[in-house]
Amino acid sequence: MAEALVSLIHKKRSAIIAKWFDSTVHAYAPDTAAFLKSQQDQFANPVGSSTRKGIETLLDQLMGDMNGEAIAASLDPIMRIRAVQSLSPAQATAFIFALKQVLRDMFDKQLQDPGMARQFFEFAARIDRVCLAAFEIYVGCREQVFELKANEMRNRTFRAFKRAGLVAEPAGEEPQD
Amino acid sequence: MADKLLKPKELIDRIGYQPPQTDWMDTPIDIRKGMYCYASNPKSVANLGFPNARPWNPTEPDWKLPENWQQIIHDGFKERLERFRSFKVFMDICVRCGACADKCHYFIGTGDPKNMPVLRAELLRSVYRNDFTRMGKLLGKANGARPLTLDVLKEWWYYLFQCSECRRCSLFCPYGIDTAEITMMGRELLNLVGLNIDWIATPVSNCYMNGNHLGIQPHAFKDMLDFFVDDIEERTGVRVKPEYMKKGADILFITPSGDVFADPGTYTAMGYLMLFHYLKEKYGLEVTWSTYASEGGNFGFFTSHETMKRLNAKMYAEAKRLGVKWILGGECGHMWRVINQYMDTMNGPADFLDVPVNPITGTRFEQARSTKMVHIVEFTADLIRNRKLDLTPARNDYLKVTYHDSCNPSRGMGFFDEPRYVIQNVCNHFYDMPASTIREQTFCCGSGAGLNAGENMELRMSGGMPRANAVKHVRDAHGVNMLACICAIDRAALPALMDYWLPGVQVAGTHELVANALNLPGQNDRATNLRGDDLEELKAQAEGETDE
């Protein structure tokens, strides 16, 4: 893997996270972004706090062994909230790609070197994979929202009908295996 | 979400990663699916005699308003400024310090700046300045004033129905501005031109015509309670006998109709039935239900003062007709704000009723001296305190419980300790959520004030996120698997919220937990809980999870 680039990123980890977090919260209106950045309490600002925590682990995974479970676990809280906010799918997932820009800006000089540029392409391919994972989670959450809508409707009516004896169960015995 | 299929070119053109960077007044309204509730059914609006009953759709440009709608709103605004001193003060005194801005669960969850309480109030204030203040008339936009255009009206409708009137923001306002009251006034004004939502208008109409929000007719109401009687017998071996409209009973019991029809509230209703049976067998207390006053909630509260008064009146009319001593209210949220803050000057004082005294313990409920209505959790807490209940809390040992303070009982009546006292006496494992998310600082379920419809699920899930986040904390720290509450809207709304954010955490009314611990005279071995689940299996399952 791109060892030289990873060690560069490692050295600048907190600066990169700060910049990445900045561009992540800019999916929101300026006032909201300011709040998400400034309020540190995890209960007063659950969106900001879980987003910050999530991207920290994501960066570590991108630099490390790309563990699928760890990536999904850090993406889930971010995508779960974005899936129910008024963001388009593109707006909800764009923050992953923003990391490429953050790295390009930060290591502009180093990336002039062809060897380093090659490493960057490798790293960028990892970012793409994370983005696809994010999109899967986003769509999963959307499906869950639709299921919740459908189930609430069904439970409200079907259960009442059943209690009132208006639903006929299929006759006969359950099939044996 | 994409609302229609787009051509590739349209798709590329429309992709923008950032929202508009404009000032709030210049940011046009964007009505998003999932964030609003459907428009009201015209039949319901007509039933209530409200103006401008017609079918309309918020996503269409024409909202079919009366021709002189601007005048109607202006006159309505003026009338309310004169009638309600608080409204006038709240319009004038905000200094935009921002203390409330980040306290709203809808702002925290949706990230939409117009859900900051200060901006939601500014939607009305900007029009107030334009229409009623000299500076606003002279300076216009420079003074934060703007005329009421159709777009502004649409913005009112969209954002006033993204406020659950929970009042968390007002807790932090140095001037004590009650933003919920501003929302209430705004909704009243919207109703004058026929802009409501069906999740409110139809329950109000049902309640007005049939006595409860769900429109359950008397025979069906009794049928449902009969099913509960059967279920209780199956699970406990005891057949309870509820009384209906019994003249001369000691107490009239009124609960939200959600408890009678919607799970998991139904188990709470079974809990009430078991408690009343126990009290009758042991102490001869006579509690009666009514199929006429069969709604503890009051969605009129989310409509207008007059509508709230109309729906509230039947509780007292029924208490008078039956000649009971006082009224016991079920586990409900907003019902208690209506009772504690408005009832006395709307339909009270209820002089024909006694100051509530618990005949079993002798406790006089001084706080209900004027309204004559006691919350069932206060009542049960008093019974437990005086050791009048025979309880086996170990039956709830498979549960690790936390408690969600409903906004209205907590902020509207300072009701913090009684529910915790009851839960801790019927359950052995209780863990509170962090201090900044409970008691007077409690986060709303995200579905209050008539917003627990299905079509606005995105609003409910994002608005409920701060609450779910606090539950997650106690689940991760202590293995909490049960979220207890004392509100029917919570019981309807929180299960979906938990499914989305914290699958596996269940929701129960407090009296379901009480009834599971309560020993009835002549009961069987109580091998299951009220939901019919085997207690041994649940216990083994819980122990397995702890071992992991």
pLDDT digits 0-9 by tens, A38-57: 999 999 999 999 999 999 99
Per-residue pLDDT band for B546 (boundaries 50, 70, 90) equals low
**Residue B352: what are its φ and ψ, rounded to 5°?**
-75, -10
Is B496 in contact with B519 (CB distance < 8 Å)?
A: no
State residue B24's pLDDT score: 83
Per-residue pLDDT band for B544 (boundaries 50, 70, 90) equals confident
- Kindly report the number of other CB atoms within 10 A of residue B364's CB atom: 13
Q: Is B176 on the interface with A (CB under 8 A)?
A: no
Q: Is B469 on the interface with A (CB under 8 A)?
A: yes
Mutate to test the interface with A, among B469, B475, B507, B531 (most CBs of A within 10 A): B469
Domain that holds residue A89: 3-163
Distance CA B37, CA B164 (A): 13
Residue A152 with chain B: CB contacts under 8 Å? 454, 457, 496
* Structural domain contains residue A143: yes
| For A98, nearest residue in chain B (alpha carbons) | B17
For residue range B377-413, what is the model confidence (pLDDT) as tens digits?
A: 999 999 999 999 999 999 999 999 999 999 999 998 8
Question: How many Å lie between the alpha carbon of B454 and the closest alpha carbon of chain A?
Answer: 5
Distance CA A13, CA A7 (A): 10
Give the three-class secondary structure for B507: strand
Which secondary-structure segment (H or E) carries B143? none
Residue B18 with chain A: CB contacts under 8 Å? 26-27, 91
Question: How many Å lie between the alpha carbon of A84 and the closest alpha carbon of chain B?
Answer: 5
* Vertex B422 angle, CA B420 and B427, to 5°: 90
Distance CA B77, CA B74 (A): 5
Please tell me the total count of domains within chain A.
1
Distances in Å between the Cα of B405 and the Cα atoms of B253, B485, B486 are: 22, 7, 8
Percent of chain B, pLDDT > 70?
Answer: 97
Q: Is pLDDT larger for residue B379 or for residue B30?
A: B379
State residue A177's pLDDT score: 61
Q: According to DSSP H, which parts of B284-375 are helical? A: 305-322, 334-337, 344-346
| For A30, nearest residue in chain B (alpha carbons) | B21
What's the mean pLDDT when you consider all of chain B? 94
Which secondary-structure segment (H or E) carries B340? none
Give the three-class secondary structure for B373: strand
Distance CA B483, CA B481 (A): 7
Instruction: Give the contacts of B513 (CB within 8 A, at least 6 positions apart).
Output: B271, B396, B399, B401, B423, B426, B427, B482, B484
Q: What is the mean pLDDT of residues A28-43?
A: 93
Beta strand ranges found along B261-380 (DSSP E): 287-289, 326-329, 373-375
Specify the amino acid at residue B517: A
> Considering only CA atoms, which of B102, B106, B88, B101 is closest in space to residue B158?
B106
| For B460, nearest residue in chain A (alpha carbons) | A84
Distance CA B193, CA B68 (A): 9
State residue B2's pLDDT score: 45
Q: What are the residue ranges spanned by the domains of chain B?
A: 21-196, 203-547
* pLDDT at residue A92 greater than cutoff 90: yes
| For B222, nearest residue in chain A (alpha carbons) | A164
* Structural domain contains residue A176: no
Distance CA B256, CA B259 (A): 6
**Residue B445: what are its φ and ψ, rounded to 5°?**
-65, -15
Q: What is the ipTM of this complex?
A: 0.92
Q: Is A44 close to B102, i.e. CB distance below 8 A?
A: yes
Place of tokens 């000649």: B323
* Structural domain contains residue A148: yes
* Structural domain contains residue A168: no
| For A41, nearest residue in chain B (alpha carbons) | B436
> Considering only CA atoms, which of B503, B510, B504 is closest in space to residue B487?
B510
Q: Is B92 on the interface with A (CB under 8 A)?
A: no
State residue B1's pLDDT score: 45
Instruction: Give the contacts of B470 (CB within 8 A, at least 6 positions apart).
Output: A43, B433, B434, B437, B438, B443
Q: According to DSSP H, which parts of B389-502 are helical? A: 407-413, 417-426, 457-463, 465-478, 488-501
Residue A35 with chain B: CB contacts under 8 Å? 101-102
Question: DSSP character for A71?
Answer: H
Edge-to-edge strand list for the sheet holding B251-254: B243-244, B287-289, B251-254, B326-329, B373-375
Is A103 in contact with A16 (CB distance < 8 Å)?
A: yes
Phi-psi region of B414 (alpha: psi -120 to 50; beta: other; left: phi over 0): left
Question: How many Å lie between the alpha carbon of B370 and the closest alpha carbon of chain A?
Answer: 37
Distance CA B210, CA B139 (A): 51
Residue A156 with chain B: CB contacts under 8 Å? 262
Distances in Å between the Cα of B107 and the Cα atoms of B113, B456, B457 are: 6, 16, 16
Tokens, residue A82: 């974005």
Q: Is A47 close to B108, i.e. CB distance below 8 A?
A: yes
Mutate to test the interface with B, among A80, A85, A153 (most CBs of B within 10 A): A85
> Considering only CA atoms, which of B384, B391, B331 is closest in space to residue B361?
B384
Distances in Å between the Cα of B509 and the Cα atoms of B214, B304, B342, B434 are: 19, 29, 25, 21
Per-residue pLDDT band for B5 (boundaries 50, 70, 90) equals confident
CA B127, B129, B133, B137 dihedral sign is negative
Per-residue pLDDT band for B349 (boundaries 50, 70, 90) equals confident
The CATH number assigned to the domain holding A154 equals: 1.10.490
